[in-house]
Chain A
Amino acid sequence: MFKATVIVRKRPKILDPQGKAVEQGAKHLGFNNVLKTRIGKYIEFFVDTDDREAANNEVKQYCEKLLVNPNIEDFEYKIEVVE
């Protein structure tokens, strides 16, 4: 069994109004050094196979077909063996 962790980011050119709004909050709290806040997604799940290549394939396809919109997002993932 593998555990997969996926990070989805908006492409640098894509506006992130949510990140901007959160950063305003940061300024109000006095975090004056905070800049370029951008909000993405962290997704974790398990893949029920012992074959690393099969797990890699499945994770990649899951990302490409559902978890990520290739028009605006990039992703990276890691898989690790779990008992």
Chain B
Amino acid sequence: MSIKFGVVVFPGSNCDHDAYYATKKILEFDSEFLWHKDTDLKGSNVIILPGGFSYGDYLRTGAIARFSPIMNSVIDFANKGGIVIGICNGFQILLEAGLLPGVLLKNISTKFICKDVYVKVESKNTIFTNSIKHDVLKIPIAHGDGNYFASDNVLKELEDNDQIVFKYSSSESNISAEVNPNGSKLNIAGITNKNRNVLGMMPHPERATDPILKKSDGANIFRSIANNLLK
């Protein structure tokens, strides 16, 4: 099987080119932009909803992008088992679309935070992580609304079903309040759905792929997806 990434471009997306550059130029996979007003996924078998400020974050983050024409196709694709990864604003859109549970609130500090963080790979039982050898990845975050919140019932369900994929941690994989940058429940940095084909994460793996930046842990996630599709 071949692999083709489709990077959705919403008005206000600003990590679409990073995602394209990472998948096409660095990792050398087929990759193409998908315009939000289109409905054709152009044969992509992995959809990336990139970071940014779609529709200016008006109303709530991701709330309006969720009703873009392309999102009907993305939701259909995901419901049929297609692989979707939402990064930062893309994660917020997946939550608004109901493809993942919960919501991302304003950071507890009220500040926009842009820095490298460590995340523990909490579950390797996903196509996004099953070929990652490391236990901890160093990936940057850049967000004002990354404070993951869900009801206690939902949190328990996420834990019981092994749906928590990444947690903010120390470089030695310790999980504590000190290494939680934004107030997220259970230090959650990324989750998957019950069917394990949709991933939402706040850190930006596409910004940590180019070896020239001396920071390429994020590439592991894209390579893991490819390993699963190409085998």
Main secondary structure of the interface of A (DSSP, over half): helix
| Chain B residues with a Cβ closer than 8 Å to the other chain, count | 19
Least CB distance from A61 to B in Å reads 13
Chain B interface residues (CB < 8 Å from chain A): 59-60, 63-64, 67, 96, 102-103, 105-110, 147, 149-151, 183
Interface flags, A27-67, vs B, CB<8A=1, else 0: 00000000000000000000000000000000000000011
- Once A and B bind, how many residue pairs between them come within 8 Å at the CB atom? 33
What would 4 more interface pairs be, CB under 8 Å, given A15-B105, A17-B106?
A66-B67, A69-B96, A71-B103, A72-B103
Q: Collect the chain B residues with CB atoms within 8 Å of residue A71's CB.
A: 102-103, 149-151
CA distance A21 to B63 in the complex (A): 24
Least CB distance from A9 to B in Å reads 14
Would you call A82 an interface residue if the criterion is a C-beta within 8 Å of the partner chain's C-beta atoms?
Answer: no
Q: Collect the chain A residues with CB atoms within 8 Å of residue B60's CB.
A: 69
Q: Collect the chain A residues with CB atoms within 8 Å of residue B110's CB.
A: 17-18, 20-21
CA distance A13 to B42 in the complex (A): 44
Chain A interface residues (CB < 8 Å from chain B): 14-15, 17-18, 20-21, 66-67, 69, 71-72
Among B59, B103, B106, B109, the residue within 8 A (CB) of A67 is B59
